[in-house]
Amino acid sequence: MITYRKASPADARDLARIRGIFLMDTGDIASEQARAEIERASLTYFKATLADESFAAWLAVDGEEIVATSGLSFSLVPPFSLCPYGRVAYIMNMFTFPGYRSRGIGTELLGRIVAEARARGCRKITLHATAQGRPLYEAYGFEDVEGDMVYYDA
């Protein structure tokens, strides 16, 4: 039976490991060396941000095994009309292991993290959707916004 619980700092190592699996699955990283590096950096990130609550995650668990993850990174931006308090949440780390997909787990986790964002006063929630995840977000009401640009300093 699948149960759901909020992640704690004690889950940092599992979240980092699963993030590495997720990034290999999406093709964002292609080598075990890159995966190990991302997992080390992610462990540092999750330990710090789960402790200071600038990141929150909900987990789906089957027995003792984490089978799906979600995550929200919180930030403050200058207020604007659609976000009058400047509180913004960014969804990341949404991943369900293949054997557990198409069972409503992702939908349940998404509902929980959106509720978490609302409870923290976030009026703007953003994400980068994979092709596989896009239908889930569209069904929930997320819209594709054209015109966003990004710069990565190499």
Q: What is the mean pLDDT of residues 133-142?
A: 93
Euclidean distance between CA atoms 151 and 5, whole angstroms? 35
Euclidean distance between CA atoms 91 and 73, whole angstroms? 7
Give the model confidence (pLDDT) of 96-122 as tens digits.
999 999 999 999 999 999 999 999 999
Question: For the chain, what percent of residues have pLDDT higher than 70?
Answer: 97
Q: What is the mean pLDDT of residues 133-139?
A: 93
Whole-prediction pTM: 0.92
Euclidean distance between CA atoms 37 and 52, whole angstroms? 23
- Cα torsion 42, 44, 50, 55 to 10°: value is -50
For position 154, what pLDDT does the model report? 66
Site of tokens 């060396």: 33
Euclidean distance between CA atoms 109 and 125, whole angstroms? 15
In this predicted structure, the answer to whether residue 148 has a pLDDT above a threshold of 80 is no
If you classify domain 2-73+92-119 with CATH, what class do you get? alpha beta
Euclidean distance between CA atoms 61 and 130, whole angstroms? 23
For position 153, what pLDDT does the model report? 73
- The domain locations on the chain are 2-73+92-119
